[in-house]
Amino acid sequence: MTALDPTLAGLIAGIATQRIRTVDLTNILSPDFPVIVLPAEFGQCEPFRMETVSRYDGNGPAWYWNNISMNEHTGTHFDAPAHWITGRDVPNGTVDAVSPADFIHPAVVIDISNEAAADEDFIVTRAFLEAWEASHGPIPPRHWILLRSDWSKRVGTLSYLNLKDDGAHSPGPDAGAMRFLVLERDCVGLGVETVGTDAGQAAHFNEPLPAHSILHGNGRFGLQCLTNLDQLPAFGSVIVAMPLKIRGGSGSPLRVMALVAGH
């Protein structure tokens, strides 16, 4: 028996002794978990569906299993660059081609919960991010940027999708913020608690849907419908996010976890 490499051994020991906390950032995938709603002229996202094949019954006396179906962008999910037209020519832009090295990256958690509580259409701007850096420190390169909006606490209520007569209302970044994060801070991707990386009203921005457009056009990723971001520190967490290996897939539901050092 060969001992683990010390680096990996340290990680395993850290988890075992809880010096490294594991935080599940995933919502439960269920039929009633809301999916994004697009304007009526577009095709719609199919929610998660599950039909029991057998449950220790005549269809399978000793086993329980289900058939499931859903859109790639259902529940807590991953957006690959090919999801957006701007990312259509990005090399390895589909989920099956995502490099394993990209499954694990550190994260910066930016707390916008107070702002989002005050304004459900709160826009994260470059100025907001610069101010955040000023008080918290600079955003390092090759990090996931996670926006903690506490929106996940609204799951199960009408205010999660927050659909109103003029569309959805939820916080998100503008184009300036996205360019700053992608081009100047070289982020791995953007993770949010809402159903989209973009704000609910982002289709009406001067540069519409900037998060999708700028992230994916530059080969970056998205994570949506995250939860438990309030359990992460601003710096120091590591995100493990591995989409399903769907051939040519644009995204995938997945389990997302964070590793956090210390107590």
Partner 1 sequence: MSQHPPRDKRDPLARRKDRHVPPGLRSSAMHAMSARAAAGCFVLQACQDCGAVTYPPRDACPRCWGELLWQDQARGALVLCETTIRATTDLYFRDHLPWRMGKLALDAGPTALAHLHADLKPGDRADMHLMLDKGGNAALFALPAGGRPDMDDHQWREFTVPVKDRIVLVSDARSAIGRAVVKALHSAGAGLIFAGMAPPSRAADLTDELSGLDRVQTLPFDITDSSLVAEGISKIAGPLDIVINTARFVRGGRNLVDQKRMMDIAVLGFMRLSAACAPLLAGRPAGAFVDLVSIQALAGEAGFAGYAAAEAARLSLLHSFRHDMRAQGVRVLSIFSGPSDDEDHQSVPPPKVAPSRLAREVVEALHMGRETTCVGEVASDAMERWLADPALFVREKNL
Q: What does the binding site for partner 1 look like in residue numbers (CB under 8 A)?
A: 31-32, 34-35, 37, 43-44, 46-47, 49-51, 158-159, 161-165
Q: How far is the CB of 93 from partner 1 (least distance, A)?
A: 22
Helices (H), 17-125: 113-118
**Using a CB cutoff of 8 Å and minimum separation of 24, what contacts does 36-43 make?**
36/73, 36/161, 36/168, 36/195, 36/196, 37/161, 37/163, 37/168, 39/167, 39/203
Active site residue 83: yes
Q: Which is nearer to partner 1, 5 or 165 (CB)?
A: 165
Q: Closest Cα to residue 77, out of 35, 14, 134?
A: 35
d(CA 205, CA 184) in angstroms, rounded, equals: 22
For residue 23, the tally of other CB atoms under 10 A from its CB is 18
Q: Which is nearer to partner 1, 14 or 167 (CB)?
A: 167
Q: How far is the CB of 29 from partner 1 (least distance, A)?
A: 13
Q: How far is the CB of 163 from partner 1 (least distance, A)?
A: 4
d(CA 46, CA 151) in angstroms, rounded, equals: 21
Q: Which is nearer to partner 1, 45 or 242 (CB)?
A: 45
Q: How far is the CB of 168 from partner 1 (least distance, A)?
A: 9
Q: Which is nearer to partner 1, 159 or 231 (CB)?
A: 159
According to DSSP, the β-strands at 49-57 and 60-69 are antiparallel
Q: Closest Cα to residue 29, out of 51, 54, 50, 52?
A: 50
Catalytic residue (one of 73, 83, 212, 216): 83
Kindly list the catalytic residues: 83
